[in-house]
């Protein structure tokens, strides 16, 4: 696991975007998992700039949301597909038919999870898992637990995650209590993992990821230590 410490959020975003652009240029039809949240926004802005300058081409790539809320549609402004559309897809030459998110409006979320995993598998699995990290070490919505799910599944969100995400809603009560998320096995099968982390609220999680050598399902990010190609780009020293 490689840690790249940046002096600023802008530098972190440029570094992460450079890594992702290099991977896409090397494999134009690569399969990506993409996160939401405030931290990756800068990375998406740099990628859009690189695309405008002709330095990276999104037209053949395949892009999957890491997760999506249950009960929110593809068009919902609080939904995670909409987030990626607003922050990345509308700014680059992506083929929107190759952009995917779990079906948050499915009448059977468990079946929607299976179908989403099958879509990823049908393309040969993830080439790049681009990730953030939660305050409690969660990845996507793989929350701390006594055991973790292997493939895409429907999860009940913890109170800490609901509170953290409430800034995107009018109130904490409006935050959905369930989500569909790719599983830790889906992530661990990716050929390469790139994580970004910024801000004091993530400092404890990054410190633990950097210094603690244990594997603990109560700290899901610890499983990344088993992966042969993980790069963490962070402002946290």
Burial degree of 173 (CB within 10 A; 0-12, 13-18, 19+): exposed
Q: Is 142 helix (H, G, I), strand (E, B) or coil?
A: strand
Which ranges constitute the DSSP H helices of the chain?
A: 9-26, 41-52, 80-87, 109-122, 159-165, 184-188, 203-211
3-state secondary structure of 179: strand
Query: Which position has the token pair 């998992």?
Result: 33
Distance CA 139, CA 132 (A): 7
Q: 87, 143, 165, 198: which one is catalytic?
A: 143
Which residue is catalytic, options 67, 68, 117, 127?
A: 67
CA distance 131 to 92: 20
Tokens read off for 66: 């890491």
Which helix H or strand E contains 5, and what residues bound it?
Answer: strand 2-5
Q: Does the annotation count 67 as an active-site position?
A: yes
Does residue 136 have an active-site annotation? yes
Q: From the candidates 138, 142, 165, 198, give the one annotated as an active-site residue.
A: 138
Q: Which of 27, 136, 149, 227 is catalytic?
A: 136
Active site residues: 67, 136, 138, 143
């Amino acid at each position: 696991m490689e840690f790249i410490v940046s002096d600023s959020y802008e530098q972190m975003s440029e570094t992460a975007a450079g890594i992702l652009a290099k991977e896409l240029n090397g494999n134009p039809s690569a399969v990506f998992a993409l996160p939401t949240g405030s931290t990756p926004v800068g990375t998406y802005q740099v990628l859009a700039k690189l695309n405008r300058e002709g330095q990276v081409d999104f037209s053949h790539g395949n892009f999957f949301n890491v997760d999506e809320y249950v009960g929110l549609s593809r068009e919902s402004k609080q939904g995670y597909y909409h987030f990626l559309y607003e922050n990345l897809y509308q700014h680059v030459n992506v083929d929107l038919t190759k952009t995917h998110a779990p079906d948050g409006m499915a009448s059977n979320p468990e079946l929607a999870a299976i179908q989403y995993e099958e879509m990823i598998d049908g393309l040969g699995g993830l080439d790049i898992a681009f990730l953030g990290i939660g305050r409690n070490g969660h990845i996507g919505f793989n929350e701390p637990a006594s055991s973790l799910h292997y493939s895409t599944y429907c999860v009940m969100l913890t109170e800490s995650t609901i509170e953290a995400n409430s800034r995107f809603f009018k109130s904490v009560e409006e935050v959905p209590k369930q989500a569909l998320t790719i599983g830790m096995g889906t992530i661990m099968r990716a050929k390469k993992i790139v994580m970004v982390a910024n801000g004091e609220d993530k400092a404890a999680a990054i410190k633990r990821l950097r210094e603690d050598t244990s594997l603990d399902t109560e700290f899901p990010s610890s499983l990344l230590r088993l992966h042969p190609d993980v790069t963490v780009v962070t402002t946290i020293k």
